[in-house]
Amino acid sequence: MASFKKPEWHQNERNSNDFTTSVVSGVHSEPYVPKVNKGRFQKKERQGPNIEELEKELLQGNRSALARSITLIESNAEHHFRPAQELLQNLLSYSGNSIRIGITGVPGAGKSTFIEAFGTYLCDDLGLNVAVLAVDPSSSLSGGSILGDKTRMEQLSRNPKAFIRPSPSSGKLGGVHRKTRETMVLCEAAGFDVILVETVGVGQSEVIVRDMVDFFMLLVLTGAGDELQGMKKGIMELTDTVIVNKADGANKRAALKTKAEYDKILHFLQPATKGWVSRAYTCSSVNNEGIDHIWNVIEEFSDVTKKSGVFEHRRREQTKEWIYSMIIDQLQFSFFGQPEIKELLPKVENDVIAGNRTVTSAVEQLFSIYSKQ
């Protein structure tokens, strides 16, 4: 009697969202396809997202359509890539009409609490639609450290005029960088007037965010003495304002002193934006003090830079920069994704580590294989 080997099933390795299954082994005269699963799973795969409908709903400001669209562009599944790009292409002409604001600062500076107060003010007092995005390069490792912040934005997350999205994780079809930029396009097409991008001041994240926003602010704590000494000068040169948060209670006087110290430093630095003098301000996010003034500063910034042409110029430069960062993303993807490279890489690595060959010759060999494809 012929032995019957039970077919084994496995989920496709791409993404846990992909419920496509396939037979990998098993002896059977006909391919073994379970009837129950066939219709359900294959239908989902074949149909894909309905881009036209998604686009229509998103343009009407439908939050659920926006959330689904972001999920689509954030997806690391290859079969989502084309539909996502098609959607973006269709929505591009509706984007660009917001003010994009980046917010950075060390953990604990009060960024999330500030966004809660600031965002609520913009929604409730000014009637604006506010989207909050996060860029957290560490989140792909930590599983989304920004999640905890949702509790700090409790009020805002329930506001019908606000939309909060945690940081995407990076993947082979592009990193956090591309996904955040594309998410901005989607938010603008959905009618958001203000986009706030929160980032932890870790590694290169503040430089990345500076490159995708119009206005960039640094939130700092009081008692700057030591902090000022240790602070990277670089970040001060990127910022359009410094906000000394937690200017309340016993901390208020110290906050004013800190503000004066930052003003002094800013005075000696190159301005982050041509024609704009970066200054320091104080606020209290928990007491809602000074929040409205910060918005006035941003509006003034927008007026000044739009009149001088600096605003548009920066956006054009940012788009150019976007092209180059995408090229680098794609190159990495195609290089490391190539089967021959994948196969050879561990061997080459070992050879170099063992001192049998130079790094240059190893890289040269890999590239000659890559360019032959």
Ligand X SMILES: Nc1nc2c(ncn2[C@@H]2O[C@H](COP(=O)(O)OP(=O)(O)O)[C@@H](O)[C@H]2O)c(=O)[nH]1
| Interacting residue with ligand X among 59, 254, 286, 344 (CB under 6 A) | 286
Query: What contacts 159, CB < 8 A, 6 or more positions away?
Result: 119, 120, 123, 124, 130
Q: Which stretch binds Mg ion (CB under 5 A): 47-55, 96-104, 145-153, 331-339?
A: 145-153
In b/e form, how buried is each residue of 148-180, taking b as 16+ CB within 10 angstroms? ebeebbeebbebebbbbbbbbbbbebbbbbbbb
Residue nearest to ligand X (CB): 110
| Residue among 120, 245, 258, 273 that touches ligand X (CB under 6 A) | 245
Binding partner at 263 among ligand X, Mg ion, none, C-beta below 5 to 8 Å by kind:
none
26 phi and psi angles, rounded to 5 deg: 135, 140
Q: What DSSP character marks residue 98?
A: S
Residues 81, 61: Cα–Cα separation, whole Å:
23
Please give the Cα distance from 256 to 222 (Å, whole number): 8
- The residues pairing with 102 across neighbouring beta strands, listed in sequence order, are 197, 216
Which residue, 245 or 305, has its beta carbon nearer to ligand X?
245
Q: Does 111 bind Mg ion (CB under 5 A)?
A: yes
Site for ligand X in 106-135 (CB under 6 A): 107-113
Q: Which stretch binds Mg ion (CB under 5 A): 54-62, 149-157, 231-239, 313-321?
A: 149-157
**Nearer to ligand X (CB atom), residue 153 or residue 185:** 153
Contact track, Mg ion, 112-131, x by CB under 5 A: x-------------------
What 8-state DSSP symbol labels residue 191? T
Cα Rg of the chain, angstroms: 25
One of 69, 284, 305, 325 touching ligand X (CB under 6 A): 284
Q: Which is nearer to ligand X, 26 or 203 (CB)?
A: 203
* Site residues (vs ligand X, CB under 6 A): 105, 107-113, 149, 152, 245-246, 248, 284-286
* Site residues (vs Mg ion, CB under 5 A): 111-112, 149
